[in-house]
Amino acid sequence: MPSAWTTDQKEYPMKAMTYCAFGAAADVLHLTDLPTPDPAPGEVLVRLTHSGVNPSDVKSRKGARPGVTKPLFPQIVPHSDGAGVIEAVGDGVPSARIGEPVWIWNGQWQRPFGTAAQMIALSAEQAVKLPEGISPEDGATLGIPGLTAAHCVFGGGSVTGKTVLVSGGAGAVGHDAVQLARWGGARVIATASPADFDRVRAAGATEVLDYRDPDLAAKLLELTDGRGVERAVEVEFGLNAPMLAQAGAENGTIAAYGSALDMNPVLPFGAFLFRAITIDIVLIYLLPAPARANAIGLLHRAHAAGGLAPAIHARFALEECVVAHQCVEAGRRAGAVLLEIDQT
């Protein structure tokens, strides 16, 4: 089990952003001194340089999860993504890992203490060695956005020669997915707002369509000579299900990782049935170990080959975490939002 910060730690205190109740960022997020954690057996202690701020972190802090009426822990350090350097190791972890640069996944998943802090202790496997050429900034985007994009694109295997539709190609996940699908040899069609068309094309989309176009399904069929798209990376499944039922290829797959605007959709089952379309619901926190290892390897290889350059929208100091959350809530981001963590 992951270790927790305790009041009897002998190490010097560290800075962390915390909240103890749901609410607006300005009301509940506070800069706090906490004891530095000790790594338990099987864990590493990471001195963090960056923390990724994702929409899921904002929703958790707001209390926007269905059925969750209060925080799951008395005190929470938010954020699941991050990057840093291993400072110490627990029993069973090779001491050679000390000094290793790493990026982090699931830092605050089902545990109270995430990456919005100077230090984090967590399972050694959740601290992935940063390959040469990947900066800590890029590493801090590989957790939720990167892994989601990689699994949604490649979760069914190779996409070489296939047509992949990326919904919301200007978002953090979508922008990564466009790049990864192009690197993987797919023809990429994306949707976006017209203001973002050039940026999405530059990421690798052959065609970019307005996500609000009422004739989107017909245009996708026209672009694919009536065959439809073989794989869809979908950020708003509920709203787009009727369109995907028309525009999906026979035996195609919809890899859906979001549906915020319609969490209880009515599905056109008959249309899905007679195209034998697979609906793959992706929650990256629960990705099985072999699939996660595959996605990690793909991210590293794509980055090394120049096929992935994660976009960074904004950087804030740790003590500016409130503003970072507000930035994510405001939408219209052109990439990830990061905290840069000062260790002084």
Q: Are 115 and 47 in contact (CB under 8 A)?
A: no
**CATH fold match for the domains 13-141+310-340 and 148-285:** yes
Question: According to the model, what pLDDT value does residue 332 have?
Answer: 87
Residue-by-residue DSSP string for 44-64:
EEEEEEEEEE-HHHHHHHHT-
Report the CATH number of the 13-141+310-340 domain.
3.90.180.10
In angstroms, the CA 316 to CA 314 distance is 7
Question: According to the model, what pLDDT value does residue 344 have?
Answer: 81
173: helix, strand or coil: helix
Q: Are 44 and 97 in contact (CB under 8 A)?
A: yes
329: helix, strand or coil: helix
Nearest to 166, CA basis, from 144, 145, 181, 184: 181
Question: According to the model, what pLDDT value does residue 132 have?
Answer: 95
Q: What is the Cα Rg of the chain in Å?
A: 20
Report the CATH number of the 148-285 domain.
3.90.180.10
DSSP 8-state class, residue 146: I
Question: According to the model, what pLDDT value does residue 64 have?
Answer: 87
Nearest to 253, CA basis, from 275, 231, 285, 223: 231
Report the greatest alpha carbon distance in the chain.
67
Question: According to the model, what pLDDT value does residue 184 have?
Answer: 98
User: Quick one: how many helices (H) and strands (E) in the chain?
Assistant: 11, 15
In angstroms, the CA 202 to CA 56 distance is 27
Domain map of the chain by residue range?
A: 13-141+310-340, 148-285
In angstroms, the CA 275 to CA 253 distance is 10
Question: According to the model, what pLDDT value does residue 8 have?
Answer: 46
Question: Could you list the mean pLDDT of each consecutive 10-residue stretch along the chain, which spans 344 residues?
Answer: 40 90 98 97 98 97 89 97 98 98 98 98 98 97 98 98 98 98 98 97 98 98 98 98 98 97 95 98 98 98 98 98 97 94 90
Report residue 289 CA to chain centroid gap: 16
Sequence letter at residue 78: P
Is the dihedral angle over the CA atoms 118, 123, 126, 130 positive or is it negative? positive
Question: According to the model, what pLDDT value does residue 65 have?
Answer: 85
